[in-house]
Amino acid sequence: MSQSRRGKSIRLDTKPKPRHRKVPDGVAMESFLIHGPSISEKWDFRHHVIPPISSSVTYRLEDTERGGQGFREYASGEAHRTGPIYIYDRLDEPTRGMLEDELAGVEGGDNCVCFATGMAAISAALGITLKAGDELVAHKTLYGCTYSLITNWYPKLNISARLIDLRDAAALEKSITPKTRCVYFETPVNPTMELIDIAAVAEVVHRVNDKRKEGEKIYIIVDNTFATPFCQRPLALGAHIVVHSLTKNIGGFGTDMGGAVIAPHELEGQLLLYRKDFGGALAPKSAWPILVYGLPTLPLRLKKQQESAYEVARFLRGHPKVKRVAYPGLEDHPQFALAKQQMRDLHGEFAPGNMIYFETIEKGAEPKNSVKVVDWIAKNGYALTLAVSLGQLRSLIENPGAMTHAAVPAEKRAEGGIAPNGIRLSIGIEHPDDIIRDLERGLELAD
Ligand SMILES: *Cc1c(COP(=O)(O)O)cnc(C)c1O
């Protein structure tokens, strides 16, 4: 697996820790995503070829001593040495556990803890790294519910957020105070497709952390949902924690919700305790399709989606009714050089992903054309469906300003580059000509 050498992985504590090699030596990541860590201690593979969906709320214990041991070891890091003792679904569970091992392996992290949704994962990652009085620095444009979490709920807990342009490393440096504990961002940013330079952020934060005591260090948290680990692995570029909505391209089929936090070993216990007490555990029935259908087909799907996304982006770029197109795979993306450096697939090839953002040309201040185009497609399109969410087999189209990012106040949307005439596309696995035909016909109606 080829990874950027620009940023080195930062570890917050330097104590030796058990290191679990999840990806067997010499095995290609595509094969790992099908077979996982070979024989898992989480299930007896002598009978099953496909890992079973476990469906048991509670677990039989041989004696009180074993039950006691299970509780003592839970979230202590000990279970990795002795093998899991299952007690209760919300604590730990084998189908979800196998999914967690694969996700940790593909992101190159120590541990993964899965949650019921992406938002449950994001609130857990922030929940274990922030407490009352702390500050968070985040990019000014964020997934709508993440924005709402940190601007509506965290002020009530006395956690404040500085929302800045994280493309500017000097602005980041200025925003860090002694109270800062987290730097949080998505890259590519939803929906604008701007990129944040993970290694550049890591350089600043690493420098600050070098002068800080343990317990006061800053964690870099990257929402890697848009890129998926197929296109980008933030831990190798210096981030500490990766969060995902498994609902999107990792799940890939649009049938189940889920979320994941991939974090260093020293945070695993906190994540497990957070999940146990706040209760947002990923159901094994939802973990199973992600493990059995989602991850094994992720490289195939992304490769196909990405090829089509390039075709669609090129079509849009040349269209007279389109004001601008943002796709990291286009040579004229303002951060194309960074895209080429940071977005690399599991073999080191350029991997700009399947998401596109574009704006229609408008005659007046109101976003008439963007609504016209999307509404025509909603009623008459064949390959494109008007729907939120992303990363499915079907191509999806939506108006972020009016839909997914409506929770962001209008002036903040404008500041963050979410234009009222902006349209987001998630490219699926249809033939690109069919996607382009829908867009072509829709755009014909624009004034
Ligand atoms: C969808 C999404 C989320 C939230 O995930 P859910 O599974 O819907 O809770 C978070 N971040 C990004 C970038 C997303 O696209």
Q: What is the pLDDT of residue 9?
A: 43
**8-state DSSP, 242:** E
**Pocket of ligand 1 contains residue 117 by CB under 6 Å:** yes
Residues 6+ away with beta carbon under 8 Å from 287 = 93, 95, 96, 98, 99, 114, 258
Mean pLDDT calculated for residue range 79-85: 73
pLDDT digits (tens, 9 = 90+) for 265-290: 999 999 999 999 999 999 999 999 99
Q: Is the pTM of this model over 0.95?
A: no
Q: Are 380 and 365 in contact (CB under 8 A)?
A: no
**Pocket of ligand 1 contains residue 118 by CB under 6 Å:** yes
- Binned at pLDDT 50, 70 and 90, residue 79 comes out as low
Supply the residue whose CA is at minimum distance from atom 6 of ligand 1: 118
**Pocket of ligand 1 contains residue 286 by CB under 6 Å:** no
Which of the pair, 157 or 8, is modelled with greater confidence? Answer: 157
**Pocket of ligand 1 contains residue 223 by CB under 6 Å:** yes
**Pocket of ligand 1 contains residue 259 by CB under 6 Å:** yes
Beta strands in 116-203 (DSSP E): 135-139, 160-164, 180-186
- Binned at pLDDT 50, 70 and 90, residue 77 comes out as confident
**Pocket of ligand 1 contains residue 404 by CB under 6 Å:** no
Ligand 1 pocket, mutate which of 143, 147, 396 (most atoms under 8 A from CB): 143
Ligand 1 centroid to 355 CA: how many Å? 14
Which atom of ligand 1 is the closest one to the Cα of 246? 7
Q: Is the pLDDT of residue 84 over 90?
A: no
**Pocket of ligand 1 contains residue 186 by CB under 6 Å:** yes
The token pair at 10 is 């930062």
Ligand 1 centroid to 412 CA: how many Å? 19
- Binned at pLDDT 50, 70 and 90, residue 81 comes out as low
- Binned at pLDDT 50, 70 and 90, residue 201 comes out as very high
Q: Is the pLDDT of residue 308 over 70?
A: yes
- Binned at pLDDT 50, 70 and 90, residue 424 comes out as very high
Whose tokens are 């014909």? That residue is 444
Q: Is the pLDDT of residue 251 over 60?
A: yes
**Pocket of ligand 1 contains residue 143 by CB under 6 Å:** yes
Least confident of 7-21, 240-254, 271-285, 354-368: 7-21
Supply the residue whose CA is at minimum distance from atom 5 of ligand 1: 118
**Pocket of ligand 1 contains residue 250 by CB under 6 Å:** no
The token pair at 271 is 């994540």
Least confident of 210-219, 249-258, 388-397, 402-411: 402-411
Percent of the chain with pLDDT over 90: 82
Q: What is the pLDDT of residue 12?
A: 47
Whose tokens are 């709320």? That residue is 57
Q: Is the pLDDT of residue 2 over 70?
A: no
**8-state DSSP, 406:** T
Q: Is the pLDDT of residue 39 over 70?
A: yes
CA dihedral (176, 233, 215, 117) positive or negative: positive
- Mean pLDDT for the chain overall: 92
Helix ranges (H only) for 42-93 are: 64-73, 79-82
pLDDT digits (tens, 9 = 90+) for 132-150: 999 999 999 999 999 999 9
Mean pLDDT calculated for residue range 372-396: 96
d(Cα 335, Cα 147) in Å, to the nearest integer? 24
pLDDT digits (tens, 9 = 90+) for 324-370: 999 999 999 999 999 999 999 999 999 999 999 999 999 988 889 99
- Binned at pLDDT 50, 70 and 90, residue 21 comes out as low
